[in-house]
Chains A and B, each alone.
Chain A
Amino acid sequence: MEVKVLAFAQARDQLGFAERLVTCEPGESPRAVLARIAPELRLEAMRVAIDQEYQSWDVPLGGASEIALIPPVSGG
């Protein structure tokens, strides 16, 4: 299956892209996907959202269509 990986703010700077389609397995976690496509990225500095909900880095993707990398937020 294909999952859209979205990167915002500092995550986009570090990855060098804002959006990329990645082929994934339903049993894979976001941590495993990122280890494959961006092994140098420090995941502890950011949160992950799957289909627009915060999740653990280790939860299986299931039928997800989107993973978003969420660096510390700073709205307001």
Chain B
Amino acid sequence: MEKQILFTTEPIVIPALALPSREIGACVEFQGVVRETEQDRLLAGLQYEAYESMAVRQLERIFDELSAAHPCAAVTFIHRLGWVPVGEASLFVRVLAAHRGESLRFCAEAIDRMKVDVPIWKRVYERHRTA
């Protein structure tokens, strides 16, 4: 499958949809957005950091393993680093496949596994002490 993995300190720009073949029947997109409240605290935003080279390796492995279980044609993964204010996206994932089942499962499981094994960290900044 085609894999595109990107970390950026700029606001995420969603790439134009490019279909790798005419057999794509499903395009699943997910954005993770920074919420204003977390555990009853009002946030100004989140500060993200990553061990980028290892994160890319881990993501490639996760995508390859998931692709064996849920065949998909392409995945685009963009994670923002640095300061992300409330209301902006920290994560964008797009999965292309022939059918919706594979692409929905791939997308959900990829995010679940990222949250367990991919070396990315966030810190919470409450609103009254904005970084």
Contacts and interface: CB of A to CB of B under 8 A. Distances in A.
B120 interface: yes
A49 B121 contact: no
B117 A73 contact: yes
28 contacts: A6-B51, A8-B49, A8-B121, A9-B49, A9-B121, A9-B123, A49-B54, A49-B119, A52-B51, A53-B54, A68-B51, A68-B119, A70-B51, A71-B121, A73-B116, A73-B117, A73-B120, A73-B121, A74-B120, A74-B122, A75-B48, A75-B79, A75-B115, A75-B120, A75-B122, A76-B114, A76-B115, A76-B120
B51 A8 contact: yes
Contacts, number: 54
Interface residues on A, range: 10 to 19
B53 interface: yes
Closest 7 CB pairs of A and B: A75-B120, A9-B121, A52-B54, A74-B122, A76-B32, A76-B91, A75-B114
Contacts of B122: 74-75
